[in-house]
Amino acid sequence: MSSLSRLPGIVTTDHVFRVPLDHGAPGGETIEVYAREVVAAGREHDELPWLVYLQGGPGGKANRPTGRDGWLDRALDDYRVLLLDQRGTGRSTPANRQTLARRGDARQQAEYLAHFRADSIVRDAELIRRQLLGADGRWSLLGQSFGGFCTLTYLSLAPEHLREAFVTGGLAGLRRSADEVYRAAYPRVARKNAGHYARFPQDVAAVRRIAAHLVEEPATLPDGGTLTVRAFQALGILLGGGSGSGVLHYLLEEAWVEGADGPELSDTFLAGAQSHLSFAQNPLYAVLHESIYGQRSVDPGATDWSAERVRAEFPEFDAAAALAGDGPVLLTGEMIHPWMFETDPALRPLRGAAQLLAERTDWPDLYDLSRLVANEVPVYAAVYHDDMYVDTAHSLETADAVARTRVWVTNEWEHDGVRTSGRTVLDRLIRMARGEV
């Protein structure tokens, strides 16, 4: 199925593909994967190379273009772009509390969700490539964040079908366990807290006041979720984006209102907090987040709620201890914790499946080091100097390991630089590929 639409400066075509749930059993159950083809208006019939955009996440759908802007504007100068809704997201067969309830108990749900990692996403892309370009066709990749992880998996599984790869904030540690990832992450998050409080010193008191209130009386969010002090700390996920520190500051500014019985958390604040904390629109992010680090040859044990376990090694993130003194309450990052499956209504029905995935010990390897060391596909990567989400040292370690990788290290942008910089970040990488930089 395909349908065509026109928006300012672009022409889009919808594609829906039928793929196996388990690529190891191609005759079994199938699901749908949706992709949106985008081309510059007036170039619909030109012979253009394809660029596949692999979205960050996991569990994020591709961006929805409303015209020719941002990184897409630069890409359309040279490419026909394919925006892939990775399996389980967007217009692909959805995986959420509503659809997973039909699959049976938690064990059946977990077995189903085990097929939604990067290796399956790459094999979906390969089926799509053959349908669009033919058996011998080659295309280029742009992987943002988790999309960069998927790019490394693609280079491991089917590099012969790639012309080039661009990676932004997504060079994963090839042999780093989940525990190693989070031990490196908490100090980065602490630095982002320090930067935020230096920028907005009044927020030290603002966060302490809210945290102290929530210790005594957790709040109810508009969707029925519970804002505990630890859930409030999870708003620190904003600190990894280019405008996130400002967004957090303005949210805190409107935290209180004078109610009938005195000061209370405002509806404005609670609705804003919910918009950043709820996983209703991307539940796979929470359910699969730690599994993206699971590889049997790296750490034969389970990921076992790594972020929660490792957090205990960093007592500076303990809100109660901070409130007992006079220092700042530190906010956390993109870590996923088991209590989220109690406080978030979108996740509560999935807590059994999430627990089974956390206990799983037989995750297949996602990266083939022997192929990556001998890689022949040109890779051009933007590494952000103090990326809160992906460790810079791990990224540079991977860049050294993967042959034909050229890196641009920059402190001009945060993790979302490819989106917030307009054309700049992607243009730099394309010019690197063309030998202009």
Q: How many CB atoms sit inside 10 A of residue 410's CB?
A: 15
Query: Could you confirm whether 140 is annotated as catalytic?
Result: no
Query: Could you confirm whether 276 is annotated as catalytic?
Result: no
Tell the burial category of 253 from Cβ atoms under 10 Å away from its Cβ (0-12, 13-18, 19+). Answer: middle
Catalytic residue among 145, 278, 291, 395: 145
Catalytic residue among 344, 415, 416, 421: 415
Distance CA 235, CA 233 (A): 5
Confirm if 65 and 12 have CB atoms less than 8 A apart: yes
For residue 277, report the phi and psi dihedrals to the nearest 5 degrees: -105, -25
Catalytic residue among 3, 136, 362, 370: 362
Amino acid letter for position 278: S
Distance CA 151, CA 141 (A): 7
Query: Could you confirm whether 145 is annotated as catalytic?
Result: yes
Output the 3-class SS for the chain.
CEEEEEECCEEEEEEEEEEECCCCCCCCCEEEEEEEEEEECCCCCCCCCEEEEECCCCCCCCCCCCCCCHHHHHHHHHCEEEEEECCECCCCCECCHHHHHHHCCHHHHHHHHCCCCHHHHHHHHHHHHHHHHCCCCCEEEEEECHHHHHHHHHHHHCHHHEEEEEEECCCCCCCCCHHHHHHHHHHHHHHHHHHHHHHCCHHHHHHHHHHHHHHHCCEECCCCCEECHHHHHHHHHHHHCCCHHHHHHHHHHCCEEEECCEEEECHHHHHHHHHHHCCCCCHHHHHHCHHHHCCCCCCCCCCCCHHHHHHCCCHHHCHHHHHHCCCCCCCCCCCCCCCHHHHCCCCHHHHHHHHHHHHCCCCCCCCCHHHHHCCCCCEEEEEECCCCCCCHHHHHHHHHHCCCEEEEEECCCCCCHHHHCCCHHHHHHHHHHCCCC
Q: Which residue numbers are catalytic?
A: 145, 362, 415
